[in-house]
Copies of this chain bind each other. A is one copy, B any other.
């Protein structure tokens, strides 16, 4: 392992908390020597990182479902990497693993970190590297447990999904179809809507950038909505609230329309529809389901294998593009799960 001494680790750290949309100024670029793993430790080289809307929240100060990233800290990110050196018998050089690698080229894991945050081997027979960041990764787990545990779909339910072509939306919509629901997506632009209907098999998709969402929901959900999986918040949530069916379930997964707002979040003014319809709005944080990930991964990998589940990833190249690549999530420029490839091998 003597060559490790000469390796450099390029890292991206949080330099300043953003106001409104994140920009390059919020980041600091550092370089450190990699070095050897500690006793019982593992050194992982980053191949791909998952870029997620949740990252914007981690950049803010204050209490949330997870501690904020501190100023000066390497930006938090999940990813897939390759074990380069290992002092832990469970991991060998060359193993592919998933874990919290951070926005950097290498990460050293101590035994305690391996135990606490976990790195785990991935199996490429179940899905590709990018699929392990998508349907078999956090977005897939979020969609799976949000839909199944919080949404509790029944055959024939009308399910609406916003961010339909995005990472979580893909899984939610296709899984709801597999479970016998009627599925209506909401996405931005004709290309995404066509993809969602023609490739992923949704029953319909509303283009919120060019269509009237309210009219679209009325057309495609004439008898109302049983389940709404919300990734976006804002006005679309209000339009859905106005069309709930009795005992409807709204899964609050995110509110990407609000994450860069510099004014107060827009509260759903139609929330009293919950009362009228005896409906429920409930938040989900995927980490709560960690002990059941293997079950969900096995089920979803089975659907990938038999062709009932498809996935689309949007791969951008190069650690240095991270600041601009992240912004794509909020402008909607990405098409499919956004993955940052840091190294091809």
Instruction: Write the residues of chain A forming the contact surface with B, with a CB cutoff of 8 angstroms.
Output: 63-65, 233, 238, 252-255, 258, 264-285, 288
Partner of A265, one of B65, B269, B285, B288: B269
B residues in contact with A288, CB < 8 Å: 278
Contact B275 A265 (CB under 8 A): no
CA distance A283 to B282 in the complex (A): 12
Contact B284 A272 (CB under 8 A): no
- Nearest chain B residue, comparing its CB with the CB of A274: B283
Other contacts beyond A276-B285, A279-B282: 15, CB < 8 A = A63-B276, A65-B276, A252-B271, A252-B272, A254-B275, A264-B269, A265-B270, A265-B272, A267-B269, A271-B281, A272-B283, A275-B283, A275-B284, A280-B280, A280-B282
- Chief secondary structure at chain A's binding surface: loop
**Chain B: minimal CB distance from A290 (Å):** 13
Contact B279 A274 (CB under 8 A): no
**Chain B: minimal CB distance from A151 (Å):** 12
- Nearest chain B residue, comparing its CB with the CB of A241: B267
Contact A282 B274 (CB under 8 A): yes
**Chain B: minimal CB distance from A275 (Å):** 3
CA distance A285 to B258 in the complex (A): 31
Partner of A233, one of B265, B272, B280: B272
Contact B281 A280 (CB under 8 A): yes
**Chain B: minimal CB distance from A40 (Å):** 33
Q: Most B CB atoms within 10 A — which of A238, A270, A282?
A: A282
B residues in contact with A258, CB < 8 Å: 272
B residues in contact with A265, CB < 8 Å: 269-272
**Chain B: minimal CB distance from A208 (Å):** 19
Contact B285 A282 (CB under 8 A): no
CA distance A150 to B264 in the complex (A): 29
Partner of A275, one of B65, B268, B280: B65
Can you list 5 A-B pairs, Cβ within 8 angstroms, ordered by A?
A: A63-B276, A253-B275, A266-B269, A275-B285, A278-B284
- Nearest chain B residue, comparing its CB with the CB of A281: B281
CA distance A281 to B23 in the complex (A): 35
Partner of A285, one of B65, B254, B278: B278
CA distance A253 to B271 in the complex (A): 12
- Nearest chain B residue, comparing its CB with the CB of A254: B275
B residues in contact with A279, CB < 8 Å: 282-283
**Chain B: minimal CB distance from A93 (Å):** 39
B residues in contact with A278, CB < 8 Å: 65, 282-285, 288
Known A253-B275, A276-B283, A278-B283; contact A267-B264, beta-carbon cutoff 8 A: no
- Nearest chain B residue, comparing its CB with the CB of A255: B272
CA distance A140 to B258 in the complex (A): 39
CA distance A252 to B63 in the complex (A): 25
**Chain B: minimal CB distance from A241 (Å):** 9
Contact A282 B284 (CB under 8 A): no
Partner of A281, one of B254, B255, B264, B274: B274
CA distance A258 to B269 in the complex (A): 11
Q: Most B CB atoms within 10 A — which of A254, A266, A277, A281?
A: A281
- Nearest chain B residue, comparing its CB with the CB of A259: B272
Q: Most B CB atoms within 10 A — which of A253, A271, A280?
A: A271
